[in-house]
Chains A and B, each alone.
Chain A
Amino acid sequence: MSTYTIPVGPLHVALEEPMYFRVQVEGETIVGLDITAGHVHRGMEFLVMRRNIYQNITLTERLCSLCSNNHPFTYCMALEKIAGIEIPERAEYLRVIADEIKRIASNLFNAAMLAHIIGFDSLFMHVMEIREIVQDTKETIYGNRMDLAANCIGGVKYDLSDEKIKYLMKQIDRLKKPLEEIIDIYINNKFVRARTEGVGILPKEEAIRYGVVGPVARGSGIDYDVRVKSPYAAYDKIKFNVHVENGCDVRARAIVRLREIQEAINIIEQCLKKLPNGPTCIDYLPEIPAGEAVAKSEAPRGELIYYLRTNGTDMPERLKWRVPTYMNWEALNVMMPGNKVSDIPLIISSIDPCISCTER
Chain B
Amino acid sequence: MMQSKFEEVRIKARLRLLQMHYEAGVGHIGGNFSALDAMLYLHHNVMSSEDQFVLSKGHAAGALYVALWSCGILQESDLGSFHNDGTLLSGHPPPDRLEGIPVATGSLGHGLPMACGMALARKLKNQPGKIFCLCSDGEWQEGSNWEALIFARHHKLSNLVVLVDVNGLQGFGSTQTVASMNDLGKHMEAFGLRTRELDGHLEASLEQINTRSVEDRWCYLLQTVKGKGISFMENRLEWHYLPLDEASYRQALAELGP
The answer to whether A and B assemble together is: no
A residues at B contact (CB < 8 Å):
none
B residues at A contact (CB < 8 Å):
none
